[in-house]
Amino acid sequence: MERTYIEGLLNTLNKKYGFNLKFSENFKNAFSHSSYTNEKRIAKHLNYERLEFLGDAVVELTTSEFLFKKFYELPEGELTKLRASIVCEKTLVKYALQLGLDKCIYLGKGEEKMGGRSRAALLADIFESFTGAMYLESNLEVVKTFLHNTLFTEVQDLEYHSFVDYKTILQEYISKIKLGEIEYVVLDSTGPSHSKTFTSAILIGGKQYGSGTATTKKESEQLSAKQALEKLGYKDI
């Protein structure tokens, strides 16, 4: 069953992007969990972990090049932060699930029963091991196309500040200093449906601490969270 899902995934990518990917030992290994190789008494080096090691490096290199070229004005420190916000567990899991990589994983019976297929850390690793196998079975240009249409869609049309997750930073900070409950409210929405502008405000303990205006509600909330952090004197942004 897993092989069927892997072949379906490869066929979808081939049709969508003009690739020529075929099921191979590398792709099987990329989806083989240690519980499966142990159960089947397959050599330990044939699970996903070595390919995850390779894929991690390929993803980091490709992401670094993409950001280096796109944000030519940003210094090294900000590029590093931006790369970390893209190549993170949350984002890797998001695209692993969108691609259906969870269905492709070969798991041992025990790991399957324990819900291993939906474990975030494993899904993030599998995204990278799949990328590693793709690199071995094709070339770096294919990987670049794949990542441009998955991870890099997070940054294609947004400003840099959108990728520093100010909302999460603020939530953690407010929880630490116990200032009150956070609420985001839309103050205004203008323009036609295909080109709206949103203004959002952030309330903490019922008091407004910031506001932001952007072309998406999500981005306007990020801007309001950034303003709130600045007003609160948070230094690490």
Residue 172 annotated to the active site: no
65 annotated as ligand-binding:
no
One DSSP character per residue, 193-223 reads TTS-EEEEEEEETTEEEEEEEESSHHHHHHH
- The 10 Å Cβ neighbour count of residue 131 is 26
157 annotated as ligand-binding:
no
Choosing from 102, 111, 128, 219, the catalytic residue is 128
125 annotated as ligand-binding:
yes
Residue 60 annotated to the active site: no
Burial class of residue 44 (count of CB atoms within 10 Å of its CB; 0-12, 13-18, 19+): exposed
Long-range CB contacts (< 8 A, 24+ apart) of 195-199? none
How far from 9 is each of 31, 168, 180, 186, CA to CA, in Å?
A: 12, 33, 46, 39
Contact (CB, 8 A) for 124 and 102: no
- Helical H segments across the chain, by residue range: 2-17, 25-30, 34-39, 49-70, 76-86, 89-99, 101-104, 109-113, 120-137, 140-148, 166-177, 217-231
Write out the catalytic residue numbers.
56, 128
| Binding residue positions for Mg(2+) | 52, 125, 128
